[in-house]
Chain A
Amino acid sequence: MRIDQLLPVLGVHDAIGAHVLQTRRALRAAGYESDLYADVVDESLAAEVRPWLDGPGRISTGRAVLYHASTHAPFTPWLEHRGRLGERILVYYHNVTPAEYFDRWLPPAAEEMRLARQELAALAPVSGIGLAASELNERELVDLGYRPTVTAPLLVDLERYHDEADGPTLGRLRRRRERGGAEWLFVGRIAPNKCQHDIVAAFAAYRRLVDPKAHLTLVGGVTAPRYLLALRDMVDALAVEEAVDIRSGLSHPELLAHYAAADVFVCLSEHEGFCVPLLEAMEVGVPVVAFAAAAVPGTVGDAAVLLGEKDPLTVAAAVAGLLDDDYRRRALIDSGRRRARCFDLASTTAGFLGAVQRFAFGSDGGSDGSDGSDGLASPASPAGVASGRPPCTAGCPGPG
C-alpha cells in the first residue's frame, strides 16, 4: 500500500519540511511505499521530492494522499477533483497565518493566505480525516466542516538538538557572556505574526531597567523584507543596535550554539500553529517566557512562564523575575525537559501513524473508515497504539 505526501512548498530550515521528511521515514518503516510531491521545492531538497505533476495519474484503492496544508496551493482544485473521484485524501493542517498580519508588509502573501483558507474549506468534503498539529488547528478544521479530526503533533527529532554545536560560534557567544549580561533568544521566521517587534520592545525596557549588558538574538528566515526593515529601524530608534542581532540562514550547528548560550527564550507571537522552537528550547534546557496566544499554551503546557499580556515592562519584569530566581529557573528548565519528552519522536510517530492508518485504509485495510469502525485493533497498527495513547502520557506533566 502507498501513502504519498503532497505539499505546496518544501523548504529547508522549515518545521513543515522536517516533519514531512520524518513522516516519510516513518511510513516507509511501517511498510508503506511513500513519496513526496510538491509544487515549489528548495533547490537543496530537489532530490527528495518530485513535482506534483509527476504523481500517479490513475486513482488507486491502494493509495492514499496525505496533503499538508499550510499555504496557497495551485493544485488544490486538482486534488479536490481527485477526492470526488474517490481518491483517499487525508489533510494535515499546519495552520495558515491570518492574512491581516501581512496586508501591510507583503500584500501578495496576504492574498495567498486568503486563498489558502478557501482551499482548505474546499477540501473538507473530500477528506477522510483532518489531522492537526495542535488543538488550535483542530478547532479550525472542525469549524470548516472536517469530520473526523485528530490532533497529531509535528514529528520533531529533538535528539538532533543534542548534536555538537558550532565551535567558533559557541566560543564567540560564550566570550560575550563572560562580559556579563543575560542572553535573550527567539527562533522563528522574521514575520509580523511572530511579533519580533514586541520582543525588541521588551528587551529594550529590560536593558534600560535591569541589565545594561543584556543581548538579544533573533534567528529566522525573512518572510517579509519590509517588516525586517521596520524592525531594524525600531532597533536603531530605541538605541539598542549594539545589543540586538538578527540572523538568518544559520546552519544547524550554529543554531545549537545560540541555544547553548541562551539564558532565556522569549516568544511573544500572536499567531503560531505549533511553534517547534519552543520544544527545541525546552529540550536543550533554556527556560521559556511566552505570550499565551494561539497554539503556544498547548505546546508548552505548564513548562513555561505564560503571560496574559505583553506590555514591554511586563515581559521585562517576568524575565527579570525568572533569571533572578535560580531555584525557579532550574525548576522551569526541568519542567521544560519533561514537557519536551512528551513530544519525543517515538511517541508522536506512533500516534501519528495510528491516526493516518486508521483513516487511510480503515480497520479492514480497505474501507474508508466512514462506517465508524475503530481501526485501533488493526494488526497493522504499530505497537503501543492499541490503547490510542502512546506510553509517555502517564508521565506528561501537562495540565490534562
Chain B
Amino acid sequence: MTAETDDAAGTGSAAVPAPVVVDAGAIVEAEHRLEQAAPGYLDKVRAAAAALAVDGRRGAGVVAEVAAVREAAALDLEAPTASASTGGMLLKEGVKRLTGWYLRYLTIQVASFANAVAAMSEALLARLDELDAADTRLGSHVADGQRRLEDLEARLAEIERRLPDLDARLGPSGGARGPRVGGAGEAAPPLQP
C-alpha cells in the first residue's frame, strides 16, 4: 500500500457531484426586478462582499490605504493567556489583568489617533474629489470659451472678407457721413484698428 486514497469510512466519496447551475434566465430576471425595486442596491451588496474577500478587493490606491488604516485601528486587547502549564497561564492572566486598565487607556488613544488619521485622509480625498470636479468644470468652461473665441475669429474674418463688397455697395451716398470708401472697382481702405 502506498499513496492510495483509501476511504476508511466508506463514505462513497470517489467522485464529487457537479455543482448545480442556477437558471441564468432566472438570475437575469431577478437582477432586473431587484434593480427596479432598489436601484443600486445589488451593486452595493456585491461591492461590500468584494471588499472583505481574501484578495483584498478594498478598492484601488488611496481609498484602499485609508480603509486599511481604519481596519488597523481596531486593536484587540484580548491577548491569549493559554499556556502549557497552569503556572504559565496564571502568570499571563495576572499580567493581563494588572495591565489591562493601562493598556485600555493607551489603546483608546491609539485607536482614536488612527481613526483621526483615517478621517483626515478621507477629508483630503473628498477635497481632492472636489478639486477634480472643479477642474473638470473649469476645463469645460475653457473649452467652451475657446470654441466661442474661434467662432468669433471666424466671423471677424468673414466680416473682413466682405468689407470691400460693403464699401462698394455703400458707394458715394454713404460717403458723406464717413470716410470715402471708394466706388466700384476701388479697393476699400483698411479698417482702422
Contacts and interface: CB of A to CB of B under 8 A. Distances in A.
B83 interface: yes
B157 interface: no
Interface residues of A, number: 85
B8 A230 contact: no
Interface string B12-25: 11111111111100
Contacts of B6: 148-151, 355, 388
B49 A197 contact: yes
B36 to A, nearest CB: 11
A226 B12 contact: no
Task: Label chain B's interface by main secondary structure.
Answer: loop
Interface string A310-333: 011110111001000000000000
Contacts of B44: 237-238
A209 interface: yes
Interface in A103-160: 104-105, 131, 134-135, 138-139, 142, 146-153
Contacts of B191: none
B187 to A, nearest CB: 77
Interface in B72-108: 74, 76, 78, 82-86, 89
B181 to A, nearest CB: 76
Interface residues of B, number: 53
A209 B34 contact: yes
A221 interface: no
A198 interface: yes
A52 B30 CA distance: 56
Contacts of A392: 10
B8 A147 contact: no
B46 A317 contact: no
Contact of B17 (A147, A152, A153, A297): A297
A398 B19 contact: no
B133 interface: no
B11 A342 contact: yes
With a 10 A CB-CB cut-off, give which of B27, B56, B82 has the most chain A CB atoms: B82
A260 interface: no
Please indicate which of the listed interface residues B4, B19, B49 has the most CB atoms of chain A within 10 Å of its own CB: B49
A104 B78 CA distance: 18
Contacts of A351: 7-10
A249 interface: no
Given A151-B8, A343-B9, A397-B12, A306 B45 contact: no
A234 interface: yes
B60 interface: no
B27 A301 contact: no
A324 to B, nearest CB: 11
Contacts of A135: 5, 7, 13
Given A225-B78, A226-B71, A307-B20, A52 B9 contact: no
A317 B74 contact: no
A200 B46 CA distance: 10
Nearest to B76: A225
Interface stretch (A36-44, A63-71, A178-186): A36-44
Contacts of A393: 10-12
Nearest to A227: B52
A149 B46 contact: no
Contact of A238 (B2, B14, B45): B45
A53 B84 CA distance: 8
Interface string B41-67: 110111011011110100000000000
A226 B76 contact: yes
Contact of B56 (A39, A104, A308): A104
Contact of A201 (B16, B18, B46, B84): B46
Contacts of B20: 305-308, 318
Nearest to B55: A100
Interface string A163-203: 00000000000000000000000000000110001101100
B48 A298 contact: no
Interface of B: 1-23, 26-27, 30-31, 33-34, 37-38, 41-42, 44-46, 48-49, 51-54, 56, 71, 74, 76, 78, 82-86, 89
Given A53-B84, A317-B26, 18 more contacts: A105-B71, A134-B13, A152-B9, A197-B52, A201-B45, A208-B41, A234-B52, A270-B54, A297-B16, A297-B19, A301-B12, A308-B19, A312-B42, A312-B45, A318-B20, A347-B9, A351-B8, A399-B12
Q: Which 3 A-B pairs have the closest CB atoms?
A: A398-B12, A400-B14, A393-B10
